[in-house]
Amino acid sequence: MVDVISSNGWLTLALNAMELSQMVTQGIWDRDSVLLQLPHFTKELARRCQENEGRPIESIFDLAEMRDLLQLSNPQLQDIIEFFKRFPNVDMAYEVGEGG
């Protein structure tokens, strides 16, 4: 779909199609918390994590030390740990050089 749209020069539609593809792949809307991709997470638990007064949780890697906040059973925590083991962590660095 993206190929057909972009070959016609419709940039806005192509960007929308790419966003839709990402939402379908992740199984969540773009307005939903990324934490909903974790096993056993509900909207309420994601909200509680994001409103955490001690330290707001904005990504899944922030959860590693927050077991007390989650209030999940040991098997549920084990499921999340297994998810962390498979979750890609990509670091990227770049420099903008002078053109010439």
Q: Name, in order, each residue with C-beta under 8 angstroms of 70's C-beta and a sequence gap of 6 or more.
A: 45, 49, 63, 77, 80
Which tokens go with 12? 């806005």
Residue whose token pair is 């999340």: 80
Which tokens go with 7? 């070959």
- Please name the helix (run of DSSP H) or strand (run of DSSP E) that holds residue 22, with its range, or none: helix 11-26
Reported pTM: 0.58
Residue whose token pair is 């962390």: 84
| pLDDT tens for the 100 residues of the chain, in order | 888 888 888 889 988 888 888 778 778 888 888 888 888 989 898 888 878 777 777 666 777 677 777 888 889 988 988 888 887 778 889 899 886 5
